[in-house]
Amino acid sequence: MAIRDWPAQERPREKLMQRGAMALSDAELLAIFLRTGVAGKSAVDVARELLGQFGGLGALLGASRAHFCRGLGLGDAKYVQLQAVLEMARRYNEEQLRNAPVLSSATATRQFLSTQLRGERREVFVVLYLDSQHQLIQYEPLFFGTLDAAAVYPREIVRRGLELNAAALIVAHNHPSGVAEASDADQRITRRIREALGLMDMRLLDHCIVAGPVVVSMAEKGLL
């Protein structure tokens, strides 16, 4: 049955307008993005098949172009639209961070880091440079690695901090393996960064580890 023939309260778009986006399932949200189904299948049917094929919404959103375009009802046009949506979400989250001190907005900070890093298939090390009021000056990815490692150079972090006149920093990196735990190597580099920043009167406030939707704070774990 076509979605237009469903009861109004069950149609994804009408449901969203009446109850808000949080009331929709992953399949219903994806169906709104798809807009139309294929012969014999509604957009919701197609969305459910795609979620099963990719293994969930996160895997679909993070899929490479080639992988994404192999999906039922997908192609380059949908891929371009999706990348635009994701980039708007990233920029929105960054804008939200700039409007309030980062430490008073821990949830927004974690959401921002998750949005930025959760889809990366290699390890990426990023820095949030903050002013004396802990408001965001600049977010920068600085180091890129292989599937499970990125070479990190504290002197480069310090150099850029001096250029931006930063007073404090939060660093973060992702674990493509999906394991949200600080390794011994993570703890060692954190100590080196903290010591290097201390020589220049800059503070390291936290080191966050992103593993999919999970963001772990080393400061909260007592590992800073």
Same domain, 111 and 211: yes
List the domain range (segments joined by +) for residue 119: 101-217
**pLDDT value of residue 124:** 92
Same domain, 122 and 172: yes
Q: Is residue 87 part of a domain?
A: no
Q: Is residue 137 part of a domain?
A: yes
User: Span 104-112, mean pLDDT?
Assistant: 76
Q: Is residue 91 part of a domain?
A: no
Q: Which of 59, 74, 89 is the last residue of a domain?
A: 74
Same domain, 171 and 105: yes
Strand order in the sheet with 168-174: 136-144, 124-130, 168-174, 203-211, 214-217
Same domain, 169 and 121: yes
Q: Which of 58, 74, 90 is the last residue of a domain?
A: 74
Same domain, 106 and 62: no
The tally of domains found in the chain comes to 2
User: Span 1-25, mean pLDDT?
Assistant: 78
Same domain, 106 and 207: yes
Percentage of the chain exceeding pLDDT 70 = 91
User: Span 194-215, mean pLDDT?
Assistant: 92
Selected residue with higher pLDDT from 213 and 201: 201
Same domain, 110 and 52: no
Q: Is residue 88 part of a domain?
A: no
Same domain, 154 and 117: yes
> Would you place residue 2 in the very low, low, confident or very high pLDDT band (cuts 50, 70, 90)?
low
Same domain, 47 and 124: no
| Residue found under tokens 């920093």 | 169
Q: Is residue 19 part of a domain?
A: yes
**pLDDT value of residue 4:** 66
Q: Is residue 86 part of a domain?
A: no
Token pair of 102, please? 């980062």
Question: How far is Cα 134 from Cα 168, in angstroms, rounded to an integer?
Answer: 7
**pLDDT value of residue 92:** 80
Same domain, 115 and 58: no
**pLDDT value of residue 189:** 93
- The CATH number that applies at residue 146 is 3.40.140.10
Same domain, 130 and 30: no
Question: How far is Cα 138 from Cα 174, in angstroms, rounded to an integer?
Answer: 19
Q: Is residue 90 part of a domain?
A: no
Model pLDDT for residues 115-147, shown as the tens digit of each residue: 888 778 889 999 999 999 888 899 999 999 865
Model pLDDT for residues 141-187, shown as the tens digit of each residue: 999 986 566 788 999 999 999 999 999 999 999 998 888 888 898 99
C-alpha of 207 from chain center: 16
**pLDDT value of residue 148:** 63
> Would you place residue 207 in the very low, low, confident or very high pLDDT band (cuts 50, 70, 90)?
very high
Same domain, 118 and 198: yes
Q: Which residues pair with 38 in a beta bridge?
A: 41
Least confident of 107-111, 169-173, 217-221: 107-111
Token pair of 16, please? 């969203």
Q: What is the chain's Cα-based Rg?
A: 21
How far is residue 213 from each of residues 12, 49, 57, 104, measured CA to CA in Å? 24, 22, 11, 21
Q: Flag whether pLDDT at 90 surpasses 90.
A: no
Question: How far is Cα 52 from Cα 63, in angstroms, rounded to an integer?
Answer: 14
Q: Is residue 15 part of a domain?
A: yes
